[in-house]
Amino acid sequence: MSTLNRKTLITGAAGGLGKSLALAFAPTASPLVLSARRLDQLTDLAADLGAETIAADMENRDQVTELAHSSADVDIAILNAALPASGDILEYDVAQIDRAIEVNLRAQIVLARLLAESMASRGSGHIVFISSLAGKAASAGTTLYSATKFGIRGASLAMRQDLAPHGVGVSVICPGFVSDAGMFADTGAKLPAGFGTVTPEKVAAATLRAVEKNLAEVDVAPIALRLGAAMAQISPALYARATSKAGGRKLSDHMAEQQRHKR
Protein backbone atom coordinates (compact mmCIF):
# COMPACT_ATOMS: atom_id res chain seq x y z
CA MET A 1 0.00 0.00 0.00
CA SER A 2 1.07 3.59 -0.47
CA THR A 3 2.59 5.11 2.65
CA LEU A 4 1.56 8.64 1.65
CA ASN A 5 -0.58 10.34 4.29
CA ARG A 6 -0.91 7.08 6.24
CA LYS A 7 -0.89 7.12 10.02
CA THR A 8 2.12 4.98 10.94
CA LEU A 9 3.03 3.45 14.30
CA ILE A 10 6.56 2.27 15.08
CA THR A 11 7.18 0.38 18.33
CA GLY A 12 10.60 0.07 19.90
CA ALA A 13 11.34 3.44 18.32
CA ALA A 14 13.93 4.48 20.90
CA GLY A 15 16.53 1.82 20.23
CA GLY A 16 18.08 -0.43 17.64
CA LEU A 17 16.44 0.05 14.28
CA GLY A 18 13.84 2.44 15.64
CA LYS A 19 15.45 5.68 14.55
CA SER A 20 16.19 4.44 11.02
CA LEU A 21 12.64 3.14 10.65
CA ALA A 22 11.27 6.47 11.83
CA LEU A 23 13.45 8.40 9.39
CA ALA A 24 12.39 6.14 6.52
CA PHE A 25 8.65 6.50 7.13
CA ALA A 26 8.57 10.12 8.34
CA PRO A 27 8.55 11.79 4.89
CA THR A 28 5.23 10.18 3.95
CA ALA A 29 3.59 9.22 7.26
CA SER A 30 0.82 11.51 8.46
CA PRO A 31 1.02 11.41 11.36
CA LEU A 32 4.00 9.36 12.54
CA VAL A 33 3.54 7.79 15.98
CA LEU A 34 6.56 6.57 17.92
CA SER A 35 6.31 4.24 20.89
CA ALA A 36 8.85 3.15 23.48
CA ARG A 37 8.97 2.12 27.10
CA ARG A 38 10.12 5.59 28.19
CA LEU A 39 9.02 8.79 26.48
CA ASP A 40 12.19 10.66 27.45
CA GLN A 41 14.06 8.37 25.06
CA LEU A 42 11.95 9.69 22.17
CA THR A 43 12.04 13.42 22.90
CA ASP A 44 14.69 14.52 20.40
CA LEU A 45 13.69 12.15 17.60
CA ALA A 46 10.00 13.04 17.90
CA ALA A 47 10.81 16.75 17.91
CA ASP A 48 12.99 16.45 14.81
CA LEU A 49 10.31 14.52 12.91
CA GLY A 50 7.21 16.19 14.29
CA ALA A 51 6.02 12.81 15.52
CA GLU A 52 3.53 11.90 18.21
CA THR A 53 4.68 9.66 21.07
CA ILE A 54 3.05 6.96 23.19
CA ALA A 55 4.69 5.21 26.14
CA ALA A 56 4.20 1.45 26.25
CA ASP A 57 6.19 -1.29 27.95
CA MET A 58 5.84 -4.53 26.00
CA GLU A 59 6.26 -6.47 29.24
CA ASN A 60 3.11 -4.88 30.66
CA ARG A 61 0.00 -6.51 29.21
CA ASP A 62 -2.29 -3.63 30.13
CA GLN A 63 0.00 -1.16 28.38
CA VAL A 64 0.13 -3.31 25.25
CA THR A 65 -3.67 -3.37 25.14
CA GLU A 66 -3.87 0.38 25.78
CA LEU A 67 -1.36 1.04 22.98
CA ALA A 68 -3.54 -0.95 20.59
CA HIS A 69 -6.69 0.90 21.66
CA SER A 70 -5.09 4.34 21.44
CA SER A 71 -3.62 3.46 18.02
CA ALA A 72 -6.69 1.76 16.56
CA ASP A 73 -6.79 4.19 13.64
CA VAL A 74 -3.25 3.55 12.38
CA ASP A 75 -2.88 2.46 8.76
CA ILE A 76 0.62 0.98 9.12
CA ALA A 77 2.15 -0.70 12.18
CA ILE A 78 5.86 -1.54 12.37
CA LEU A 79 6.35 -3.91 15.31
CA ASN A 80 10.01 -3.49 16.16
CA ALA A 81 10.24 -3.77 19.97
CA ALA A 82 12.32 -6.70 21.28
CA LEU A 83 14.84 -7.92 23.84
CA PRO A 84 18.21 -9.49 22.88
CA ALA A 85 17.40 -12.75 24.74
CA SER A 86 20.86 -14.13 23.99
CA GLY A 87 22.82 -16.76 25.88
CA ASP A 88 22.89 -20.44 26.80
CA ILE A 89 19.47 -21.62 27.93
CA LEU A 90 20.96 -22.99 31.18
CA GLU A 91 21.87 -19.43 32.16
CA TYR A 92 18.22 -18.37 32.23
CA ASP A 93 15.78 -18.76 35.08
CA VAL A 94 12.07 -19.23 34.43
CA ALA A 95 11.23 -15.58 35.06
CA GLN A 96 13.76 -14.49 32.42
CA ILE A 97 12.36 -17.01 29.95
CA ASP A 98 8.87 -15.66 30.56
CA ARG A 99 10.05 -12.07 30.03
CA ALA A 100 11.71 -12.85 26.71
CA ILE A 101 8.62 -14.62 25.41
CA GLU A 102 6.32 -11.89 26.76
CA VAL A 103 8.17 -9.04 25.08
CA ASN A 104 9.43 -10.67 21.89
CA LEU A 105 6.48 -12.88 21.00
CA ARG A 106 3.26 -12.48 22.95
CA ALA A 107 3.17 -8.68 22.95
CA GLN A 108 3.85 -8.54 19.20
CA ILE A 109 1.13 -11.02 18.31
CA VAL A 110 -1.44 -9.45 20.65
CA LEU A 111 -0.70 -5.96 19.38
CA ALA A 112 -0.95 -7.12 15.77
CA ARG A 113 -4.22 -8.94 16.47
CA LEU A 114 -5.83 -5.92 18.11
CA LEU A 115 -4.65 -3.47 15.44
CA ALA A 116 -5.68 -5.88 12.67
CA GLU A 117 -9.29 -5.85 13.84
CA SER A 118 -9.75 -2.16 13.16
CA MET A 119 -7.74 -2.38 9.92
CA ALA A 120 -9.93 -5.24 8.71
CA SER A 121 -13.08 -3.28 9.51
CA ARG A 122 -11.79 -0.49 7.24
CA GLY A 123 -10.63 -2.90 4.54
CA SER A 124 -7.04 -1.67 4.47
CA GLY A 125 -3.82 -1.54 6.45
CA HIS A 126 -0.42 -3.12 6.78
CA ILE A 127 1.45 -4.76 9.65
CA VAL A 128 5.19 -5.41 9.64
CA PHE A 129 6.91 -7.76 12.07
CA ILE A 130 10.66 -7.37 12.57
CA SER A 131 12.06 -10.89 12.91
CA SER A 132 15.62 -11.97 12.12
CA LEU A 133 17.61 -14.53 10.18
CA ALA A 134 17.73 -16.15 13.64
CA GLY A 135 14.07 -16.89 12.92
CA LYS A 136 15.26 -19.24 10.18
CA ALA A 137 18.58 -20.49 11.49
CA ALA A 138 19.08 -21.53 15.11
CA SER A 139 22.58 -21.31 16.59
CA ALA A 140 24.21 -22.13 19.90
CA GLY A 141 23.47 -19.47 22.49
CA THR A 142 20.28 -18.24 20.82
CA THR A 143 17.61 -20.58 22.21
CA LEU A 144 15.20 -17.89 23.40
CA TYR A 145 15.98 -15.33 20.72
CA SER A 146 15.53 -17.90 17.95
CA ALA A 147 12.42 -19.32 19.59
CA THR A 148 10.75 -15.92 19.62
CA LYS A 149 11.94 -14.92 16.16
CA PHE A 150 10.88 -18.27 14.64
CA GLY A 151 7.53 -17.63 16.29
CA ILE A 152 7.25 -14.10 14.96
CA ARG A 153 8.09 -15.27 11.44
CA GLY A 154 5.54 -18.08 11.59
CA ALA A 155 2.85 -15.80 13.02
CA SER A 156 3.47 -13.23 10.31
CA LEU A 157 3.30 -15.66 7.40
CA ALA A 158 0.11 -17.27 8.72
CA MET A 159 -1.51 -13.98 9.73
CA ARG A 160 -0.87 -12.70 6.23
CA GLN A 161 -3.15 -15.42 4.90
CA ASP A 162 -5.80 -14.75 7.55
CA LEU A 163 -5.92 -11.02 6.84
CA ALA A 164 -5.53 -10.97 3.04
CA PRO A 165 -9.29 -11.38 2.43
CA HIS A 166 -9.86 -8.29 4.59
CA GLY A 167 -7.49 -6.08 2.58
CA VAL A 168 -4.77 -6.04 5.22
CA GLY A 169 -1.17 -6.84 4.31
CA VAL A 170 1.37 -8.46 6.60
CA SER A 171 5.14 -8.59 6.09
CA VAL A 172 8.07 -9.98 8.03
CA ILE A 173 11.58 -8.53 7.82
CA CYS A 174 14.53 -10.82 8.61
CA PRO A 175 17.78 -8.88 9.08
CA GLY A 176 21.14 -10.48 9.68
CA PHE A 177 23.81 -8.69 11.70
CA VAL A 178 23.13 -4.94 11.67
CA SER A 179 25.98 -2.45 11.93
CA ASP A 180 25.97 0.92 13.70
CA ALA A 181 22.78 0.45 15.75
CA GLY A 182 20.89 -2.30 17.49
CA MET A 183 21.53 -5.46 19.46
CA PHE A 184 24.59 -6.71 17.57
CA ALA A 185 26.22 -3.29 17.20
CA ASP A 186 25.78 -2.54 20.89
CA THR A 187 27.88 -5.55 21.88
CA GLY A 188 30.96 -4.43 19.94
CA ALA A 189 31.36 -8.00 18.68
CA LYS A 190 33.56 -8.83 15.70
CA LEU A 191 32.19 -11.24 13.14
CA PRO A 192 34.11 -14.31 11.94
CA ALA A 193 35.65 -14.16 8.47
CA GLY A 194 33.10 -14.51 5.71
CA PHE A 195 30.27 -12.96 7.68
CA GLY A 196 29.02 -9.46 6.97
CA THR A 197 26.63 -6.78 8.15
CA VAL A 198 23.96 -4.51 6.75
CA THR A 199 23.22 -0.95 7.78
CA PRO A 200 20.10 -0.01 9.75
CA GLU A 201 19.19 2.27 6.85
CA LYS A 202 19.10 -0.72 4.53
CA VAL A 203 16.79 -2.60 6.89
CA ALA A 204 14.52 0.44 7.10
CA ALA A 205 14.45 0.78 3.32
CA ALA A 206 13.53 -2.90 3.00
CA THR A 207 10.71 -2.37 5.49
CA LEU A 208 9.36 0.56 3.52
CA ARG A 209 9.53 -1.49 0.32
CA ALA A 210 7.72 -4.39 1.97
CA VAL A 211 4.80 -2.12 2.83
CA GLU A 212 4.66 -0.42 -0.55
CA LYS A 213 4.80 -3.70 -2.48
CA ASN A 214 2.96 -5.87 0.07
CA LEU A 215 5.84 -8.34 0.27
CA ALA A 216 5.42 -11.42 2.45
CA GLU A 217 9.03 -11.70 3.61
CA VAL A 218 12.26 -9.81 3.06
CA ASP A 219 15.71 -11.03 4.11
CA VAL A 220 18.20 -8.20 4.67
CA ALA A 221 21.71 -9.64 4.87
CA PRO A 222 24.77 -10.37 2.74
CA ILE A 223 24.46 -13.34 0.40
CA ALA A 224 26.64 -15.59 2.58
CA LEU A 225 24.30 -15.21 5.55
CA ARG A 226 21.21 -15.71 3.42
CA LEU A 227 22.69 -18.90 1.99
CA GLY A 228 23.53 -20.02 5.52
CA ALA A 229 19.94 -19.47 6.61
CA ALA A 230 18.75 -21.50 3.63
CA MET A 231 21.16 -24.29 4.58
CA ALA A 232 19.84 -24.24 8.14
CA GLN A 233 16.31 -24.90 6.92
CA ILE A 234 17.41 -27.78 4.68
CA SER A 235 19.96 -29.37 7.01
CA PRO A 236 20.10 -27.99 10.57
CA ALA A 237 22.86 -30.43 11.53
CA LEU A 238 25.10 -29.34 8.67
CA TYR A 239 24.45 -25.69 9.51
CA ALA A 240 25.36 -26.30 13.16
CA ARG A 241 28.68 -27.88 12.19
CA ALA A 242 29.48 -25.08 9.76
CA THR A 243 28.74 -22.29 12.24
CA SER A 244 30.69 -24.07 14.97
CA LYS A 245 33.78 -24.28 12.75
CA ALA A 246 33.36 -20.61 11.79
CA GLY A 247 33.48 -19.51 15.42
CA GLY A 248 29.77 -19.04 15.99
CA ARG A 249 29.89 -20.16 19.60
CA LYS A 250 32.58 -17.64 20.51
CA LEU A 251 30.52 -14.90 18.89
CA SER A 252 27.32 -15.87 20.69
CA ASP A 253 29.12 -16.11 24.04
CA HIS A 254 30.55 -12.61 23.61
CA MET A 255 27.17 -11.16 22.65
CA ALA A 256 25.44 -12.91 25.55
CA GLU A 257 27.90 -11.51 28.06
CA GLN A 258 27.43 -7.98 26.75
CA GLN A 259 23.64 -8.32 26.78
CA ARG A 260 23.29 -10.13 30.12
CA HIS A 261 21.95 -7.05 31.90
CA LYS A 262 18.99 -6.85 29.49
CA ARG A 263 17.50 -10.25 30.39
Give me the active site residues, please.
145
Whose CA is closest to 128, among 137, 140, 116? 116
Partners of residue 127 on adjacent β-strands: 77, 170
How far apart (Å, rounded) are the C-alpha atoms in residues 126 and 195?
Answer: 32
CA dihedral for 91, 93, 94, 100, sign (positive or negative) = negative
Q: How big is the CA angle at 259 (ends 39 and 227), to the nearest 5 degrees?
A: 105
| Ramachandran bin of 105, using left for φ above 0, alpha for ψ from -120 to 50, beta for the remaining angles | alpha
CA 109 vs CA 103, 157, 159: distances in Å: 10, 12, 9
How far apart (Å, rounded) are the C-alpha atoms in residues 34 and 72?
Answer: 14
Contact 209, 171 (CB under 8 A): no
How far apart (Å, rounded) are the C-alpha atoms in residues 168 and 125?
Answer: 5
SS3 30: strand
